[in-house]
Amino acid sequence: MRFLFFILLLLQLATIHAEELSEEYQQGWFAFQAKDYGKAADIWKKLADKGDTKAALGLAAIYENGLGTARNPAESARWYQVAADQGSPEAQHDLGIKYFTGNGVKKDQDKAFSLWKKAAEKGLGVAQAKTGYMYHQG
């Protein structure tokens, strides 16, 4: 499950057009691809603190998967929350998973549904599927 999550995150980050990213973010991405996770985290933390949503998502992945650091589901949830608050449907979806499973946060399926619904309304297909499933289950 963790591996699948990691692959999905990489695909999300890889689909962003380079011209939309700051040079500093790209330096973090290159460090991440080179498996220099400490350098990527340092760069992305500075950017995320300034409101860079993609940098916050990158930090969440680093902490979620223990890349260059110990796994820290709570810290991962914190960065997903930052990106979700900025309107990222990917972060809303992934934070919803954390609430659904209780991974790094207190389990709260209502909160998970609310986050998935927000992401679904923004067109994120996987969130639309989860929201539909939740409606079906009642």
Q: What is the CATH number of the domain that holds 32?
A: 1.25.40.10
17, part of any domain? no
74 near 81, Cβ under 8 Å? Answer: no
| Full domain range(s) for residue 74 | 2-12+22-137
22 near 55, Cβ under 8 Å? Answer: no
* Total domains, the chain: 1
SS3 105: coil
| pLDDT tens over the chain, length 138 residues | 555 455 555 545 554 544 466 899 999 999 999 999 999 999 999 999 999 999 999 999 999 999 999 999 999 999 999 999 999 999 999 999 999 999 999 999 999 999 999 999 999 999 999 999 888 887
Find where tokens 């695909």 sit.
11
Q: What is the pLDDT at residue 137?
A: 86
Q: What is the pLDDT at residue 13?
A: 56
103, part of any domain? yes
Q: What is the pLDDT at residue 54?
A: 96
How crowded is the C-beta side of 47, counted as CA atoms within 13 Å?
24
79, part of any domain? yes
Burial class (CB in 10 A: 0-12, 13-18, 19+), 118: buried
86, part of any domain? yes
99 near 108, Cβ under 8 Å? Answer: yes
14 closest CA partner among 90, 66, 71, 84: 90
84, part of any domain? yes
